[in-house]
A and B are shown apart, each in its own frame.
Chain A
Amino acid sequence: MSEAGTTPGGAEGQTLLGAVLRRWFLRPEAPALTFLVLLVAVFSLAVDGFLRAANIESILTQVAVVGIVALAVNQVILCGEIDISTGSMLGLCAVAAGMAATATGGVWLPLLAGIVTGALAGALNGALVTLGRVPAIIVTLGMLYALRGVILLVTGGSFVTGIPQESRILGVGTIAGINTPVIVLFILFAVVALIGAHSTWGRNVYAVGGNRRAARLVGLPINRTRFLAFVMVGVFTGIAATIYMGRAGAVQTTAGAGLELQVIAAVVVGGTSIAGGRGSALAALTGAVLIGVILNGILLMGVPGVWQNFVLGALILLAVSVDAVRRRLLGGEGV
C-alpha cells in the first residue's frame, strides 16, 4: 500500500518535471538560450574579466545594430518570407541620417531621415513581394544590389563626414549610465515582444507563416501582414543606421556590407524557423547576443580575427543541426 502510495506520487512528480522540461524545450529559443548560458559560464571561467559589467555592456553595445535589425527581420521570416537587403538598406539609411546630421545637426532630424528612408525601401520590398508577386529572396537580392548602387550615386563614392557630435548621441551617448544603443535595443525588443504576442498583426504573422492556405481560408489579410513586416524592417533598419552612424562618426559607402547575413544568422541561430510560423522576438535577441558573446569570447581568448567568420559559420550550422535533431526527437511536436 505504502509502495503503491509513493510510486504514483513519484511518477506524478517526474511527469510534472518532465512536462515542464518538455514545455521549456519546445520553446523555439530554448536551445540557443541554454547554449548562451553555458557559453557565458565557460567564458567567465576561462577568461578573466569576461563577466565584468563593462565587458557585458560592450558586447551588448556591439550587437545592438545587428540585434535591432534582427528583431524586425525575425517578423519577416515568421511570415515565411526573407529579407536579405538589410546590409545595403542600413548603408543607405546611414547615409541619409549622416547627410541630415551634417546639414542641420540635432538628434531627431537625422533619426527621422534614417527611419523615413528605411520605411520607403521596406515599403518597396513589401509592395514588390505582395502586389508584384516576386519571390522575396529575389526582390531583396535585387534591392541589395540596387540600394548599394543608390548609395554610390547619392554620395558620389565619397564618405559622409563632419557629423556633429550632438547628432551622434544615439550611438555614443548614455542614459542613466547605460550606453544608449543597449537601451534602444531592449526597448525595441519589448515593443516587438508585446506586439508579437498581443496584437492582431502579431498573431497574423504567425498564422501567415505557419499555414498560408489556412490563413487565406479564414480571411486573414495576408498581403497587408507581410507588407507591414517589410516596412517594419525598414523602420528598424533606419533606427539601427542612426546608431551605426553615431558610433562610427562617419559613413562609408560600404557601410552595412555583409550585415544581412549576420542578421539572418542571428534569427536562425536564435531558433526561429526559416520556414516561417515558428519563433519569437526573444529568439532573435538571443541569437544576436549569442553571436556577440562568441565573437567577443574568442577575441578575448586570443583566437586570431581571421578565424571569426569560420566560427560564425560553424555556429550557424551547429544551431540549425541541433534544431533539426531536436525536432526529429520530439516527433514534429511544436514545429
Chain B
Amino acid sequence: MSFRLSFSRELVLLAVLVVLMVVMSQLSPYFLTLSNLLNTSRYFVEIGLIALAMTMIIITGGIDLSVGANLALVSVVVGFSFAAGVPLGIAILLGLLAGLVAGLFNGLFVTQLELHPLVVTLGTFALFRGLAFGISDADAVSNYPGWFAYFGQAYLGPVPGQLLVFVLAVAAAWFALSRTSFGRYVYAIGHNEEAARFSGVPIKGVKLALYSSMGLLVALAAVIYTSRVSTARADAGLGLELDVIAAVVLGGASIYGGKGTIAGTVLGVLIIATLRNGLILAGVPSTWQLFLLGVLLIVAVFLNEFFRKEE
C-alpha cells in the first residue's frame, strides 16, 4: 500500500519534471539541447551528492544544516594546505579527512549528548564556517596544477566527469537504503525511534554512520566544487543547505522522519536544477528565482503533508 503510494508520488514528480522541461524548452530554444542538459549537470552534482546523505538523515527524523559550512571548510583545507606547500594529492586527502571528521563531530554530539540535530548543526554551521574563515583569513587560493581540473571540469566524451560520480553515488545510496538491513534501520528509526531501540536497532551506530557519510559526501562535493571554480574561499557554499533540503523535501521525504526515497530525491534535485537553469536561459531575473524556489518548497511540502493526511 505504502509502496504503491510512494511509487505514485515519484510518478507525479516525474510528470512535473517533464512538464517543466516542456515549458522551459518553449521559453528558450537552447534548453532542450543535449549540451545544455549535460552542462546543467555540472552544477547540480554537488547539491545532488549531499542530498543523498541528507535524504537518509531526514528519514531518521534528523537534519544537517552545516553542509554548506562544511563544504567551505573542506575547500579551504584543500586550498590552503596546498598553498602551504603540501602536495595537492595529500591536500585532497586532508580535505576528505576534514569533511569526515566534521561529519563525525556532528554525529557524536547527536548520539552521545542526545542533542537535537537542528541545534548541533546550527552550532557547527557557525563553527565550520568560522574555522574556514579563520584558516583562510578571508583570503582565496587559486593557481592549482592543471590536473586538479580533472575533478570538476573533465569530460568523458560529451559527459561531464562528475555526472558519472553522481550516478555511482546514487546507485550506492539506493542500494544501501532499499536493499540492506542498514536501510531498514534508517526507516525504523524514523518511524518510531523508541520502538526501534526496543527491537535492538543500533540507533547510535546508524546515526553516527549517517552523519559521518554526510561529512565524506560533502568533502567529495567540495573537491569537485573547488576544482570546478578553481578557487578555495571561505564563503563557498553559502546557503547550500537550503537548496539541498529543498530538493530532498520536494522529493517527498518527510521532515518528521520515516518517509523518503532516493528516487524521489534525485527527481527533486533534477526539478530544482531544471527550474534554475531554465529560468536563467529564459532571462528571468535571479530575484524571481529565489521567490519561486521558496514558494515551490512550501507548496511541495503542503501537498506532501496533505496527501499524507489522506493516507
A residues adjacent to B (C-beta < 8 A) = 82, 128, 132-135, 137-139, 141-150, 152-153, 157, 261, 264-265, 268, 274-275, 304, 306-314, 316-317, 320-321, 324-325
- Looking at the complex, which one of A138, A268, A310 makes contact with B301 (CB distance below 8 Å)? A138
Chain A residues with CB under 8 A of B127: 309-310, 313-314, 316-317
Chain A residue nearest in CB terms to B105 = A317
Tally of chain B residues near chain A (CB < 8 A) = 50
Using known A-B contacts A133-B309, A149-B291, A304-B137, determine if residue A128 contacts B120 with beta carbons closer than 8 Å. no
B19 interfacial contact with A, CB 8 Å: no
- B197 contacts chain A at the CB level, 8 A cutoff: no
**Chain A contact surface mostly:** helix
For the complex, what is the distance from the CA of A321 to the CA of B125, rounded to whole Å? 16
Residues facing A in B106-152 (CB within 8 A) are: 109, 113-116, 118-120, 122-131, 133-134, 136-138
A–B complex contacts, Cβ < 8 Å, 25 sampled: A82-B118, A134-B305, A135-B301, A135-B305, A137-B63, A139-B298, A141-B294, A146-B293, A148-B290, A149-B289, A149-B291, A152-B285, A152-B287, A152-B291, A153-B288, A157-B287, A268-B122, A275-B116, A304-B134, A306-B234, A313-B126, A313-B127, A316-B126, A317-B124, A320-B115
The answer to whether the Cβ of B214 comes within 8 Å of any Cβ in the partner chain is no
Q: Do A142 and B295 contact each other (CB < 8 Å), given the known contacts A148-B290, A153-B288?
A: yes
- Known contacts A142-B294, A145-B294, A307-B134; is-contact A313 B128 (Cβ 8 Å): yes
The docked-state distance in angstroms from the alpha carbon of A264 to that of B123 is 10
Determine which of B114, B122, B234 lies in contact with A261 in the assembled complex, contact meaning CB atoms within 8 Å. B122
Note all chain A residues with C-beta closer than 8 A to B290.
145-146, 148-149, 152
B32 contacts A by Cβ under 8 Å: no
A324 to B123, CA, bound (A): 14
Going nearest first, the 6 A-B pairs with the smallest beta carbon separation are A149-B291, A313-B127, A310-B130, A145-B294, A309-B130, A146-B294
Instruction: Tell me the minimal C-beta distance from A169 to chain B in angstroms.
Output: 32
Residues A134 and B109 in contact, CB atoms below 8 Å apart: no
| B301 cross-chain contacts in A, Cβ below 8 A | 134-135, 138-139, 142
CA distance A325 to B114 in the complex (A): 10
Instruction: Determine if B138 and A265 form an interchain contact, defined as CB atoms under 8 angstroms apart.
Output: no
Query: Does B256 sit within 8 A of A, measured CB to CB?
Result: yes
B249 close to chain A: CB less than 8 A: yes
Question: What chain B residues lie within 8 Å of A135 (beta carbons)?
Answer: 255-256, 301, 305
CB distance from A132 to the nearest CB of B (A): 5
Task: Pick from A309, A310, A321: contact of B115, CB below 8 A.
Answer: A321
Q: B130–A313 contact, CB under 8 A?
A: yes
Taking the closest CB of chain A, its distance from the CB of B2, in whole angstroms, is: 20
Q: Which residues of A contact B291 (CB under 8 A)?
A: 145-146, 149-150, 152-153
Does B101 reach chain A (CB closer than 8 Å)? no
